[in-house]
Chains A and B, each alone.
Chain A
């Protein structure tokens, strides 16, 4: 599988489960701030990227298994991970790909939400994004069409992608709304990577 095919595989098999995973982590890892959830998700994506996709039969199960390994590592390195969490992630129904009721709603609404996010982009940013993504113009052609520099086009596309990614990351499945109060961010974030 070449890299574009691998990105598509991730898009089809891992991305749909990300917001569910984040919601679960946010609810369960009260000692974790959003930055920690970000770290964990990024680490998980890095691990999954290194895997042989042909051996993965269930993306959701693999994602949770990866996170479980990471949490166990964090715990060993005395990062703050409540021990009972490891037991809980074990008891999750990892094999079944059946989404719960909230996930089914999530799947239905996912594209609607994307559309809303795109619609909410600043006008020029949105136009650039639409020309690139919907019309399939190259960045250079978008720049020529709109009379912008290619750098500006790149900036708009970056902003669009970053905002879409950030919004999806903070989406909370409906059933979890009561737990969605933002947890306090840890102040000592600077020590990442030094341990």
Chain B
């Protein structure tokens, strides 16, 4: 049975889909304008529908290749991964999936561009059996591996992946990644970051590589952490929990490995782990960190940078959840919350002490 009347929201959704489809003729355009002019609620509902339609692109950013993990054999080397070139990052794949894949990557580029200053492109290279995956600035990228594991790359991160019959060998070259490991006892899943190796059989954990340390947070199951040499000597699937130099880290624990120091394992509450991993959803979350630390985090996700001009301001605490690529929103919110001013200044936004801007 056809419905006789559509609500304003439903009509707005139809127009939004039509307008987004692009093939809206002059007659239809007139019809749309007439409808929009008839009632201010029409305009509002239409704007809302268009914005929601755009917003749904965020889902695509997290949506990995649906049931079609990237097969190594079909990947083609792409020699110039220049994230600044407008058309870079489009991997050429033979066969029918080429269009879909490049469209997805273009789409990913579009999503990064949603942040006013985001715009990194993702790219893949096949080299000596080792696949490379990278995310651009402001991009969160989900990658499905052949073995059923998934990895989620935070902003400006890079991993290489090598899957053999004996071992799943991942290197975190830069940034941060969350690993959701498919259970496979015969092939341990080993992530290396600097000289640290993290080994899992079936579990979920995040690894963050910073200049002076490696930070591992386990959300499910158990992993073993050791330096790369020790790990290499363990052999496949050894129950190495009691060996010297091997640290066992279980769910809801976090370990920080700084150079020349013993690994420091501490419990982490699930809510706190969720907060730290808010980037999975394209968000960053702060719970009393200093403005300086918060700005450092948000700057990781953006090409444009925030600069704090005042040490007292830099030490003030920030609470809140923000979109990682919404640099302007963050600086405006921080300015408002801390009675500061956010001043755009060329390539940077300056935060300075000052009065709260009035609204009306």
Contact = CB atoms under 8 A, between A and B. Distances in A.
A108 B283 contact: yes
Given A38-B9, A45-B44, A165-B52, A137 B285 contact: no
A13 interface: yes
A171 interface: no
B274 interface: yes
Counting chain B residues whose Cβ lies within 8 A of the other chain, the interface size class is: 35 or more
B13 A162 contact: yes
A57 interface: yes
Interface stretch (B74-82, B184-192, B201-209, B327-335): B327-335
A39 B319 CA distance: 33
B320 A118 contact: no
Contacts of A118: 59
Contacts of B62: 111
Given A15-B52, A94-B359, A165-B49, A46 B335 contact: no
A114 B59 contact: yes
Interface string A27-58: 00000000000110111111111000000011
A11 B282 CA distance: 14
Interface stretch (A79-87, A127-135, A172-180): A127-135
Interface stretch (B103-111, B218-226, B243-251, B292-300): B103-111
B329 A13 contact: yes
Interface in B291-315: none
Contacts of A192: 41
A99 interface: yes
A164 B51 CA distance: 12
Contacts of A11: 51-52, 54-55, 114
B284 to A, nearest CB: 10
A186 interface: no
B173 interface: no
Interface of B: 8-10, 13-14, 16-18, 21-23, 39-45, 47-60, 62-63, 66, 100, 103-104, 106-107, 114-115, 274, 278, 281-283, 285, 319-321, 323, 326, 329, 332-333, 335-337, 342, 356-357, 359-360
